[in-house]
Amino acid sequence: MSRIGKAPIDIPQGVSIDVSKDKVVTVKGPKGQLTQQLHRALDIDMEDGVLTVTRPDDTKENRAMHGLYRSLVNNMVEGVSTGYKKELELVGVGYRAANTGQLLELSLGYSHPIMFAVPDEVKLDTKSEKGKNPTVILESHDKQLIGQVAAKIRGFRKPEPYKGKGVRFVGEQIRRKAGKTAGK
């Protein structure tokens, strides 16, 4: 049996979970509300503040979906209770980030600034301190959405392996390559 799939999900205080008869899971909490369609074969049992995802048999498809949907529901519960945060830093000379509401303006060494509209579900903030790389901070209750937005921003200028310039996650290690060697 799936080790991830059979792990119980503890429901924190202030989080309510509703499962409709057509297997749509709705999770409400202090940070927001999320919904997810559950796989047709899986069932959710809730008792004493603990949620368990069960499967009817050990067919290959049901085994594959068991751990996946348990993780999705767990991410929803964690998101509406504590939320998620991603930080990206801009490494490079002249790289800047500024935001006006939900509009992110990036200067990444191109001939034009990049304007990126961030969805309303994601809270956007930028930090620029002297002597440090500019930082873009994203916060949301939806793990999938925040990951997608962060990947899109990182995709505007991925870190290159020679000097390490580009947009990277805070704490991300870039595998560096040696450049050309000098002549003999």
The last residue of one of the domains, among 81, 115, 143, is: 81
The last residue of one of the domains, among 51, 81, 111, is: 81
- Percent of the chain topping pLDDT 90: 84
22 with 53, same domain: the answer is yes
pLDDT in tens, 53-80: 999 999 999 988 999 999 999 999 999 9
Give just the sign of the alpha carbon dihedral 46, 38, 118, 156.
Answer: positive
pLDDT in tens, 85-118: 999 999 999 999 999 999 999 999 999 999 999 9
User: Rounded distance, CA 131 to CA 143, Å?
Assistant: 31
The structural domain count of the chain equals: 2
38 with 88, same domain: the answer is no
CA distances from 39 to 35, 36, 65, 116 (A): 13, 10, 7, 34
Q: Residue 42 belongs to a domain with what CATH number?
A: 3.90.930.12
Q: Which long-range contacts (CB under 8 A, 24 or more apart) does 129-135 make?
A: 133/89, 133/90, 133/91, 133/95, 134/89, 134/90, 134/95, 134/96, 134/97, 135/87, 135/88, 135/89, 135/90, 135/97, 135/170
In a domain, 64, yes or no: yes
CA distances from 54 to 19, 21, 23, 34, 77 (A): 14, 16, 13, 21, 17
Q: Which residues contact 152 (CB under 8 A, 6 or more apart)?
A: 116
Q: Which residues contact 113 (CB under 8 A, 6 or more apart)?
A: 105, 106, 107
44 with 76, same domain: the answer is yes
Domain limits at 69? 9-81
53 with 91, same domain: the answer is no
The last residue of one of the domains, among 81, 96, 124, is: 81
In a domain, 132, yes or no: yes
Confidence of residue 143 (pLDDT cuts 50, 70, 90): very high
For residues 110-127, give the mean pLDDT: 95
121 with 152, same domain: the answer is yes
In a domain, 148, yes or no: yes
